[in-house]
A and B are shown apart, each in its own frame.
Chain A
Amino acid sequence: MYLVKTVEEKKVDKLKVTSTRLQVLALVFFVLTPCAVALNVVTGAWAELLNMPQGISLDSQQITGTGLLVVLALGSIKPVAYMVTFLLLYKLLGLYKVGIIFTAENVAAIRKIGWALVSIDIVGMLQTVITGPILTLFAITPGHISARLEVGFLIVGLFVVLIAYVMDMGRELKEQDSLVI
Chain B
Amino acid sequence: MAIIVNVDVVLAKRKMKLKDLAEAIGITVQNLSILKTGKARAIRFTTLEAICQHLECQPGDILEYKPD
Which of A43-51, A155-163, A173-181 contacts the other chain?
A173-181
Q: How many residues of B contact A (CB 8 A)?
A: 12
Give the chain B neighbours of A181 by CB distance below 8 A.
Answer: 27, 31-32, 34-35, 40, 42-44, 47
Q: Are B44 and A180 in contact (CB under 8 A)?
A: yes
Binary flags per residue of B30-68, CB closer than 8 Å to A gives 1, else 0: 011011000111111001000000000000000000000
Q: List the A side residues contacting B39 at CB < 8 Å.
A: 179
Q: How far is the CA of A176 from the CA of B32 in the complex (A)?
A: 16
Q: How far is the CB of B31 from chain A (nearest CB, A)?
A: 5
Q: Mark B15-40, 1 if CB is under 8 A from A, else 0.
A: 00000000000010001101100011
Q: Which residues of B contact A180 (CB under 8 A)?
A: 40-44
Residue of B nearest to A177 (CB): B41
The smallest C-beta distance from A175 to any residue of chain B, in angstroms, reads: 9
- In Å, the complex CA distance between A180 and B42 comes to 5
Which residue of chain B lies nearest to A175 when distances are taken between CB atoms in the complex?
B41
Which residue of chain A has the shortest Cβ distance to B33 in the bound complex?
A: A181
Cα distance, A171 to B64, chains bound together (Å): 31
Query: Which residue of chain A is the closest to B42 with respect to CB atoms?
Result: A180
Nearest residue, chain B, Cβ from A180: B42
Cα distance A179–B39 in the bound complex, in angstroms: 7
Interface bits A137-181 vs B (CB < 8 Å: 1, else 0):
000000000000000000000000000000000000000100111
Most buried by B among A176, A179, A181: A181
A181 and B47 alpha carbons, distance in the complex (Å) = 7
- Could you list 21 A-B pairs, sorted by A, with CB under 8 Å? A176-B41, A179-B34, A179-B39, A179-B40, A179-B41, A179-B42, A180-B40, A180-B41, A180-B42, A180-B43, A180-B44, A181-B27, A181-B31, A181-B32, A181-B34, A181-B35, A181-B40, A181-B42, A181-B43, A181-B44, A181-B47
Chain B contact residues, CB within 8 Å of chain A? 27, 31-32, 34-35, 39-44, 47
